[in-house]
Amino acid sequence: MRVFVFFDLPVDTAVQRKEYRLFRKHLIKEGFLMLQESVYAKLVVNDAQAGASISRLRQHRPPYGLVQVLKVTEKQFAAMEFITGERESYAEVDTLEGFVVL
């Protein structure tokens, strides 16, 4: 399952830019990878983990702007079509293949 975060935050003042940076740093710390500017995605094992991730996002939401979250299955994610360009290959692990539970 994937959790997508879409956000549109104001960056007009120094305080708003700081809130933007803090939110973005939180996303990266939580394991989200940037797909596009202001679009991040995270691979989660199940719906419970997705819910916990969304709950942590609520705790760190910025005071202004719009943050949206979307959960999709791996099958839905794999059906994504690229209209223009090609997706770059990343060094990060992008699948559950070889997933080890400790």
Which residues participate in the annotated binding site for Mg(2+)?
8
- Are 45 and 1 contacting, i.e. CB atoms less than 8 angstroms apart? yes
Residues tagged in the binding site annotation: 8
Give the CA-trace dihedral at 9, 18, 2, 67, to 10 degrees.
-30
Residue 75's nearest CA partner among 22, 4, 2 is: 2
